[in-house]
Amino acid sequence: MSGVDATHDPALTSWVAAANRDGGDFPVQNLPFAAFRRAGSGEAFRGGVAIGEDILDLGALAAAHPFEGLASEALAAAAQPTLNALMGAGAPAAAALRGALSQALRTGSPHAARLRALLVPQAAAEYRLAAAVGDYTDFYASIHHATAVGRLFRPDNPLLPNYKWVPIAYHGRASSLRVSGYDFARPRGQLLPAGATVPELAATRRLDYELEVGIFIGRGNALGASVPLASAESHVFGLCLLNDWSARDVQSWEYQPLGPFLAKNFATSVSPWVVTLEALAPFRAAWQRPAGEPPPLAYLDGAQQRAAGAFDVELEVWLETARMRAAGGAPQRLSHANFRDSWWTVAQMVAHHTVNGCNLEPGDLLGSGTQSGPEPGQAGSLLELSAGGKRPVTLASGEQRTFLEDGDRVTFRAWCERPGFRRIGFGELTGTVLPVA
């Protein structure tokens, strides 16, 4: 596990003034990575690192050869159109580059004058997915979400008997992953209307979001070689935000016996910034099961995992309707959860995914599944907040929602904070629902 070091010192400041403002997502203690270019420029995408309200252009920085050794090699990898090469270089390379960037961007750095010209305002940038994602797996790691959804469909038996033992997941569709800001048409699919006995092909009437944490794989593993729990995090580059948009009426008709299909594969939104595990080191938390719950099997358990296997990441969902936008009103927060409450940890997901010898590749993406907390206001989907559509959510604008309507814009936000450390954030993940094509 990555440990706390000098890069996390809360006293560090940056020569980029905006990075020193309280409450910002991107102080010098964070330094997340993305793939970007100037908006509308037609330039090649390349790696960038967030600092304050700007992006340090790693493509231009690499051309100047400011670093040596492993940090220099990692910078060359980060200058490419995607971050796959940097991710595949492994945790030591990513840590070396982050350490060198921390030195270069902090107050008093001899590189300040030269690097100032390499800053691009985030407001003037456009992004692509941080990596070319070869495979995408979506887990179901929140027991609070699984229980709440189970109660809607199986009131007498909300959790199936395997849930507490197996990190449940399905193989998602990598081709429909899109970076934040993607606006998509309401999807169609086969669904069974209430009271009907014959299904129909129609636009979904129960469109939903899912508040998830994304996990980008770093160093891969060979086919046939499993990754032990103790070394699982050495195969993880970092975390981001993920919205696995879902058509609930399509899902309820098609999901048995093989799970989600058209209900999920039309769009999955991913935030541009990837926060490294090194940056998250101060925000680890104990992972533990409530008393009386079964312990995980040995390959998913360990003292290190129990002591600090979870991540304390605050998660929020905000909704802006078309009416709010037209009136100049502010978006409304719908829920607030924490990744710390996940039943399965990042390391456990990686260890289970590979226990049968499945090979992960640099840039592969794992979704945590919808993250919900134990309280009603911590639900990570409208399916839960509206009790399956039976209890509409009333908005400050006077509107009500059971599921998403055309024109609705959903925004996810996330951050970590703890006394004695600087707050760091993940930026935003947004997406807007358009009318059916």
315-340 confidence digits (pLDDT tens): 999 999 999 999 999 999 999 999 99
Q: Give residue 363's pLDDT.
A: 98
Structure tokens, 160? 């199936």
CA–CA separation, 223 vs 16, rounded Å?
Answer: 44
Nearest to 425 by CA among 416, 436, 412: 416
Q: How far is CA 71 from the centre of its chain?
A: 26
Which contacts of 185-188 are long-range, i.e. CB under 8 A and separated by 24 or more positions?
185/434, 185/435, 185/436, 185/437, 186/406, 186/433, 186/434, 186/435, 186/436, 187/247, 187/250, 187/262, 187/266, 187/267, 187/436, 188/436
402-414 burial, b if ≥16 CB within 10 A, otherwise e? bbbbebbbbbbbb
Can you give the pLDDT at residue 178? 98
Q: How far apart are CA 27 and CA 16, in angstroms?
A: 9
Cβ within 8 Å of residue 76, ≥6 positions away = 62
Which neighbouring-strand residues pair with 314?
338, 415
Report the half-sphere exposure of 341 (CA within 13 A, side-chain side).
Answer: 21
Residues 233 and 309: their CA atoms lie apart, in Å, by: 10
pLDDT band of 278, cuts 50, 70, 90: very high
Residue 156's pLDDT band (cuts 50, 70, 90): confident
Q: d(Cα 273, Cα 415) in Å, to the nearest integer?
A: 12
Over 80: is that where the pLDDT of 1 sits?
A: no
Average per-residue pLDDT in the chain?
97
DSSP structure string for 368-396: ------SSGGG-SSHHHHTTTTTSPEEPT
% of the chain beyond a pLDDT of 90: 94
Residue 224 has pLDDT above 90, yes or no: yes
**Could you tell me the two tokens for 372?**
């919900």
Domain boundary assignment for the chain? 6-128, 136-434
Neighbours of 37 (CB within 10 A): 21
CATH class of 136-434: alpha beta
Annotated active-site residue in 111, 145, 352, 353: 145
**155 has a pLDDT exceeding 90:** no
Q: Tell me the C-alpha to C-alpha distance, in Å, between residue 54 and each of 118, 169, 280.
A: 10, 36, 21
**What integer is the mean pLDDT of 237-256?**
96
How many whole angstroms separate alpha carbon 424 and alpha carbon 23? 8
Average of pLDDT values for 418-428? Answer: 98
Q: What is the pLDDT of residues 368-394, one digit of tens each?
A: 999 999 999 999 999 999 999 999 999
Strand, coil or helix: what is 297?
coil
In this predicted model, what pLDDT tens digit does every residue of 89-136 receive, in sequence order? 999 999 999 999 999 999 999 999 999 999 999 999 999 999 999 999
* Cβ(287)–Cβ(376) below 8 Å: no
Which uninterrupted H or E stretch holds 78?
Answer: helix 69-78
* Residue 436 per-residue DSSP state: P
* Residue 38 burial class via C-beta count within 10 angstroms: exposed 0-12, middle 13-18, buried 19 and up: middle
Helices and strands (H, E) in the chain, number of each type: 11, 26
Task: Indicate the pLDDT class of residue 410, thresholds 50, 70 and 90.
Answer: very high
Across the range 409-423, mean pLDDT stands at 98
Q: Is the peptide bond before 257 cis (omega within 30 degrees of 0)?
A: yes
- Confidence band of 245 (pLDDT split at 50, 70, 90): very high
Asked whether the predicted pLDDT for residue 256 surpasses 90, the reply is no
Active site residue 8: no
Of 151-165, 182-196, 237-251, minimum mean pLDDT range: 151-165
**CATH for 6-128, options being 1.10.10.10, 3.90.1150.10, 2.30.30.230, 2.60.40.3950:** 2.30.30.230
Share of the chain above pLDDT 70, in %: 100
Question: Is-contact 104 14, C-beta < 8 A?
Answer: no
Give the CA count within 13 Å in the CB-facing half-sphere of 148. Answer: 25
